[in-house]
Structure 1
Amino acid sequence: MAYLALDLGAGSGRAIVGIIENGRIKLDEIHRFANSPVKLGDTLYWDFLSLYANIKEGIRLAVKKGYNLKGIAVDTWGVDFGLIDKSGKLLGNPVCYRDLRTEGMSDKSSAYISKEELYAVTGIQQMEINSLFQLLSLKVCEDQILSVADKLLFTPDLINFFLTGIACNEYTIASTSQLLNAQTRQWDEKIFEKLNLPSHLMSNIVHPCSLIGKLNTEIAEETGALDAKVFAVGSHDTASAIAAIPTQGDNWAFLSSGTWSLLGVLANEPILAREVMLNDFTNEGGVDNKILFMRNITGLWLLQRLIAEWEKAENPNCSYDYLLSECEKSKPFRSIVNSDDPSFTHPVSMSKAIQAYCERTGQHVPQSKGEFVRCVLESLAVKYYFVMDKLQKSTGKDIKQLFVVGGGSQNELLNQYIANILNMDVIVGLTESTAIGNVIQQAIANNEIADWVEGHKIIRNSFTLKTYKAQNFDYWINVISKSKHLFE
């Protein structure tokens, strides 16, 4: 059977068909499109109309190619949402999490509910991009949109609503909001009451591997997907990506490597200790009733912005192959930066931001492309070391393996750096882990496969995993001790 995974990132989206036959899964990318925020006035919006048009186009192209789609499911980035009124109309384009409207909202919320109390309830790392602070900003500014809004739908929920007419909030994406109780896995009324937020906007929670409804008649006829059902999967892309990892035992961790890095472990229950909160760990909802206990880290964002800057300046030779070869030619460990430093959040020039950081911390200031790339990759590896140390202390686990998924898993140099500094096996091979996890969940919901035991067997049969072995760990010890102050 054929299932369509609509995998939408904060930079691009893709429609990928997954076919499960003879105990194996095959993927076919049907449509790829840009997904860039648009500045209008003082606000940074997502172009939802373009996004939705491309989603319908992805469905149409899959049918045109001959696939009889039995299922469709959406996964996206977290925290962002749209508002609809009682007649089901969208009240404006959703606002991007990088918009400045949430600045200062964390401090404002603390007057009504402390950071400690929020964490004890939600288990979510307090970041001003979170849905809670986006919603609070509307309340503080007395935005009239709240007076006519009927439902708050996170990005995948919003897409599902316009595909089916059914409004619901999927669990994993809802967990990113900092409005969900981590233990009951339902909306926490106390948070809404203390911050005077409208709880009536929230819908029933649905869980991954369940049916939302049939594709509505108009969309089915427009696209030709007459038999397709729309399923709930781990609609936070990280949840679907981690669910696809076909491993056993309890001594492994995961790293979702992309614009953001998410380093963590699977847990059965949230970990809500104050010490864990102080170390900026988060407890997000996972597939199969799991908790993703992890740390959000600014990842390859720095390198992506550098490349965009070089391309805009019409600099030649910005391909990854060229940049990585130049990186290897550069001297190691000359410049280490903390990717989570606020100066890297959205600078006008990433190269100048890195140079300024290195200058004020008394380090070599990168000049060439190779030096910049080496700085970013080595810095990420060092960052992972310190987060991994806190992760093992917080969970009591002796982690022996790290599974890296996502686009960053294709960066062989970074993978080797990670293996070296962590002194453990780094395993890759599921570049399209989000789409894989999405498709497997649809197949479970459609009763084509029984459960995740069978799902993971299918994944192991379908993909070749590669292991990076640690090399020269002693070579990295010196840089760990010298850069520790940058990560405290």
Structure 2
Amino acid sequence: MSAEGQGSRHVAVDLGASSGRVALGTVQGGRLSVEILHRFPNGGVPVRGGLYWDVLGLWREILHGLRLASGRGPVASVGVNSWAVDYGLLDDGGELLGGVHHYRSARLGGVMERVRARLGDGTIYGATGIQFLPFNTLYQLAAEPPERLARARTLLMVPDLLHFWLCGARVTERTNASTTQLFEPRTGEWAPSLLEALNLPTHFLPPIALPGTDLGELSPEVVRETGLHGTRVIAPATHDTASAVAAVPAAAGETGWAYVSSGTWSLVGVETPGPVLTDAACAANLTNEAGVNGTTRLLKNVMGLWIVQECRRAWGNPDFAALYEGAGNVPAGGPLIDPDDARFLPPGLDMPARVQASCAQTGQPVPRTPAEIVRCVLESLAHRTADVLEQLEAVQGQPIRTVHVVGGGAQNGLLNRRVADLSGRTVVAGPVEATLMGNLLVQAEASGSVPRGSVREVVRASGALTTFPPGGPVPAGERERFRELTVRRRADEVVSQD
């Protein structure tokens, strides 16, 4: 495969909470072109009161995508990224023990609160620097039957499990390990003391690999199934947000920027040279997750477009563009919700009713039409994003002037315009396919297809960006009204002073 001819080809498998893609990336002439070969749905499967991921179905779709890639010619490497916190447990022979639980499973009710009461927030945050979220891997393991943990020999996060099936490597890539609340961000190693304090085993924690690690060739079985020969498995930044942040198109030497990885979740953060484990970071419930090239992603998980997605499902899946167009015709200054309210976390066709109930309970006008409900949600997401940007600015002590919005939400002009207006900062939207681009370019960098340290330069050269300057209308008292709403729900975020 010559650089002058076909360029360097790499395959990214990008798994999201609602869908997955297999994409072929070609690096040539300092630019990256991305072709999505295969799309497929994803989501939780309810079984006997539990909620699971259909990992075998995902594997079938991945193999199909790889077969399509093999028809395009030689492929240098393949890598998988996905959401965080969920895992599979393997026995001695590498067989999967039971299913892979979904992070929205009802099995986690009350577990985080019990663990925090037992260990203390200072101990947990001091060891891991991770935001307290009820679905973190630490709490999932605390919810496991002891006999299942005793039988387990290896714990692999979802993308690491798929890498194991691709090539046999039993490792956890660093960016995903850092989301578990079992990872020590200062040392880059596991923090087993938390499991030990809960009388849980630690023997199943695998070695940690850096983004860009070559995990080996595809197994003979996968080669037979796909027709790919000589293809390496290279771990990208396997946490989808880490891959997206790797593709933030910040210029070399640019300072004062933050990012929003906008999709089902909104990950609002800044890139720092190391973890920030101060009392202020703990009080703000910020998370320190690993990035590429030894960086830290200081961020907060914020409910993203999930609420709109579930409302849309309840309405029979109308076109997103039509929903957003309708919302754009609803004036600002209407009802608001706290999008991080736990009531919005579980799936359900009653999501529109939940939005309406929240507005009614806070004494606001109740949105009735889909346009009014979507405007309420988007306006609230923009307010929440603006609040987190202020927290990040205060905790890191550096001004934030520009907000890079990447991912699917980069297409949502109404949301991005309102983030600019409510935060008073310039929003630069794009690329939409940041996660795929970050995945592919980390592989390409590891393969020598692009020079070290040039990933963001390639991203900037590979597509157009849209800028939203601030200056739109913000009704008087609007920001204060939103903050009053959120104060009512902070009991689960307040760090104990005991």
CA distance in 1, matches of 2:191, 2:345: 30
* Pair 1:131 & 2:137 matched: yes
Counterpart of 1:329 in structure 2: which amino acid? N
Q: Given residue 93 of structure 1, which amino acid in structure 2 is its aligned partner?
A: G
Task: Specify the alignment match of 1:386 in structure 2.
Answer: 387
Alignment equivalent of 1:40, drawn from 32, 47, 55: 47
Determine the C-alpha separation between the residues in 2 that align with 1:465 and 1:476.
Answer: 29
Aligned to 1:330: 330
1:107 and 2:113 aligned: yes
Q: How does 1:140-289 map to 2 (within 5 A)?
A: 141-142=145-146, 144-247=147-250, 248=252, 249-289=254-294
Q: Aligned partners of 2:95 and 2:343: how far apart in 1?
A: 38
1:227-247 per-residue CA deviation (whole Å, 9 max, x = no partner) reads: 110001100000010011121
1:315 corresponding residue in structure 2: none
Query: Contact 2:263 / 2:306 at 8 angstroms: preserved in 1?
Result: yes
CA distance in 1 between partners of 2:347 and 2:309 (Å) = 13
Structure 1 residues without counterparts, runs of 5 or longer? 313-317
Structure-to-structure mapping, 1:56-75, within 5 angstroms: 56-64=63-71, 66-75=72-81
Corresponding residue SS for 2:190: coil
How much does 1:450 deviate?
2.1
Q: Secondary structure at the match of 1:176?
A: coil
Counterpart in the other structure of 1:396:
397
Residue deviations 1:293-344 (CA, integer Å, cap 9, x gap): 00100111111111000007xxxxx212222222122232210111001221
Whether the aligned pair in 2 keeps the contact of 1:8 and 1:77 (CA below 8 Å) is: yes
1:36 Cα deviation from its structure 2 partner:
1.6
Which letter does structure 1 place at the counterpart of 2:370? K
Amino acid at match of 1:455: V
- What TM-score results when the alignment is normalised by the length of structure 2? 0.94
SS in 2 for 1:371: helix
2:443 maps to which residue?
442
Deviations 1:48-88 (Å, cap 9, x if unpaired)?
11011111111011112x23111000000000000111111
Segments of structure 2 that go 5 or more residues without pairing to the other structure are 1-7, 488-498
Cross-structure match for 1:85: 91
Distance 2:442 2:12 in 1: 10
Q: In the alignment, is residue 305 of structure 1 matched against residue 310 of structure 2?
A: yes
Give the 3-state SS of the residue equivalent to 1:177 in structure 2: coil
State the Cα distance separating 1:476 from its structure 2 match: 4.2
Q: Distance in 2 between matches of 1:388 and 1:467?
A: 18
Letter in 1 for 2:460: R
Q: CA deviation at 1:347?
A: 5.8
Cα contact 2:310–2:347 (8 A) shared by 1: no
CA distance in 2, matches of 1:458, 1:175: 27
Residue 370 of structure 1 deviates from its aligned partner by: 1.1
Superposed CA deviations along residues 221-271 of structure 1, whole A, max 9, x for unmatched, are 210111110001100000010011121322000001111111110011111
- State the partner residue of 1:353: 354
User: Distance in 1 between the 2:255 and 2:197 partners?
Assistant: 38
Using the alignment, how far apart are the partners of 2:155 and 2:91 within structure 1? 9
Moved more, 383-392 or 81-90: 383-392
8 Å contact from structure 1 (residues 254, 403) kept in 2: yes
Q: Where does 1:13-52 land on structure 2 (aligned, <5 Å)? A: 13-52=20-59
The residue aligned with 1:426 is 427
Superposed CA RMSD:
1.3
Q: TM-score under structure 1 normalisation?
A: 0.95
Aligned residues of 1:418 and 1:426 also touching (Cα < 8 A): yes
Give the match for residue 496 of structure 2.
none
What SS does structure 2 have at the residue aligned with 1:266? strand
Counterparts of 1:212 and 1:429 in 2: how far apart (Å)?
Answer: 30
Q: What is the total number of aligned residue pairs between the two structures?
A: 477
Q: Is the 8 A contact 2:167 2:218 kept in 1?
A: yes
For 2:168 and 2:383, locate their aligned partners in 1 and report how far apart those are by CA, in whole Å: 47
Q: 1 CA distance for matches of 2:481 and 2:51?
A: 39
Deviation at 1:388, TM superposition (A): 1.3
Name the SS for the 2:11 alignment partner. Answer: strand
Quote the residue 2:406 is aligned against.
405
Alpha-carbon contact 1:83-1:91 (below 8 Å) kept: yes
Runs of 4+ with >6 A deviation: none
Alignment partner, residue 484 of structure 2: 485
2:192 & 2:310 partners in 1: Cα distance? 40
Deviations 1:72-118 (A, max 9, x none): 00000000000111111111220101111122212222354211111
